[in-house]
């Protein structure tokens, strides 16, 4: 979340932002994300208890208590919004509020529970840190910010579906209609490949529209090819879904770093 926020700031400022402004913006993103994660744990406590991979989260909530977790969540979110209004601007604060609300309410209580495609609109709060970082530097968000936002949005479904394939029995037990549970493994793999393939031309758009250099384009091409090959090797050649999930993390980290380095040194 913080790396994507920094990439938005670098795009908006055409270079690294001042250290103080960057620390405040990234602190706001980190506080909001942490508070939202705690709220998610509270709202999903009953279902989480039926998922073995979330035993540590359930145990932590039991130690802290629901009241303590609720106070912590509200304090983190309130702190984030207060800092953004004091040191950033209204646009960044509204985007932060939108990220918190869309994740804790729309995604957690509606999309995730009702549709196997809930992760598609559910990706919006995960991609908003790019726009938050951009708005912290330039409230009028440019096409480059929206393009990177769309890339982050498009990346999240295959990232999550790889995880859902690995833990589909957990999701089935908890009653979540994730894609592998609702429509099966084969269709999920097809969609992962479709999204992963679409990421490549979209990532090259930052170069094609003149926002990044040819050096970035080569990096995006290499990273996109790596992700596609990883999907084939870990989804088709062998059912190593955890490796596909980790490859998706390496891919997006690489893209964000490539954007930051390219824009900052050009």
Compute the distance between CA of residue 51 and CA of residue 58 in angstroms, rounded to an integer: 9
pLDDT for position 237: 83
Compute the distance between CA of residue 169 and CA of residue 163 in angstroms, rounded to an integer: 11
196's CB contacts (< 8 A; 6+ apart) are 158, 224, 227, 228, 231
Condensed to tens digits (0 to 9), the pLDDT of residues 243-254 reads 999 999 999 999
Domain boundaries, the chain: 1-140, 142-266
| Distance set, CA 107 to CA 78, 98, 116, 141, 200 (Å) | 20, 12, 12, 25, 27
Q: 115-119, 127-131, 196-200 — which is least confidently predicted?
A: 115-119
**Domain 1-140 in this protein, CATH class:** mainly alpha
Tokens at 231, concatenated: 């999907």
Question: Across residues 197-206, what is the average pLDDT?
Answer: 96
**Domain 142-266 in this protein, CATH class:** mainly alpha
pLDDT for position 58: 87
Question: Across residues 125-154, what is the average pLDDT?
Answer: 96
Compute the distance between CA of residue 132 and CA of residue 108 in angstroms, rounded to an integer: 21
pLDDT for position 145: 96
Exposed/middle/buried for 179, CB within 10 Å: 0-12, 13-18, 19+? Answer: buried
164's CB contacts (< 8 A; 6+ apart) are 171, 178, 179, 180, 181, 188
Condensed to tens digits (0 to 9), the pLDDT of residues 65-109 reads 999 999 999 999 999 999 999 999 999 999 999 999 999 988 988
Q: Is pLDDT above 80 for 266?
A: no
pLDDT > 70 fraction of the chain, expressed in percent and rounded: 100
Condensed to tens digits (0 to 9), the pLDDT of residues 16-70 reads 999 999 999 999 999 999 999 999 989 988 888 888 888 888 888 888 899 999 9
Condensed to tens digits (0 to 9), the pLDDT of residues 207-230 reads 999 999 999 999 999 999 999 999
Compute the distance between CA of residue 258 and CA of residue 266 in angstroms, rounded to an integer: 12
Instruction: Work out the number of other CB atoms within 10 angstroms of the CB of residue 87.
Output: 16
**Contact between residue 79 and residue 45 where contact means Cβ atoms under 8 Å apart:** no
Compute the distance between CA of residue 67 and CA of residue 9 in angstroms, rounded to an integer: 36
Question: Across residues 168-188, what is the average pLDDT?
Answer: 91
Q: What is the pTM of this model?
A: 0.93
Tokens at 127, concatenated: 């991609």
């Amino acid at each position: 979340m913080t790396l994507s926020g920094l990439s938005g700031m670098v795009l908006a400022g055409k270079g690294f932002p001042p250290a103080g402004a960057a620390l405040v913006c990234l602190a706001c993103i980190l506080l909001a994300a942490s508070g939202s994660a705690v709220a998610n744990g509270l709202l999903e406590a009953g279902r989480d208890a039926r998922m073995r991979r979330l035993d540590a989260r359930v145990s932590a909530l039991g130690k802290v208590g629901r009241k303590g977790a609720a106070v912590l969540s509200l304090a983190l979110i309130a702190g984030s919004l207060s800092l953004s209004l004091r040191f950033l601007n209204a646009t960044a604060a509204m985007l932060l509020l939108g990220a918190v609300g869309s994740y804790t309410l729309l995604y957690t209580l509606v999309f995730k529970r009702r549709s196997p495609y809930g992760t598609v609109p559910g990706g919006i709060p995960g991609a908003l840190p790019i726009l938050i970082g951009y708005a912290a530097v330039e409230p009028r968000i440019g096409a480059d910010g929206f393009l990177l936002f769309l890339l982050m949005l498009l990346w999240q479904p295959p990232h999550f579906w790889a995880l859902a394939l690995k833990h589909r029995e957990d999701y089935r037990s908890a009653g979540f209609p994730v894609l592998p549970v609702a429509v099966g493994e084969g269709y999920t793999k097809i969609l992962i490949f479709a999204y992963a393939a679409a990421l490549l031309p979209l990532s090259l758009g930052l170069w094609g529209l003149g926002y990044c250099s040819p050096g970035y384009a080569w990096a995006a091409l290499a990273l996109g090819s790596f992700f596609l090959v990883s999907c084939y090797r870990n989804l088709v050649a062998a059912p190593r879904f955890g490796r596909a999930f980790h490859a998706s993390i390496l891919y997006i980290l690489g893209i964000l770093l490539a954007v930051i380095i390219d824009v900052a040194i050009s």
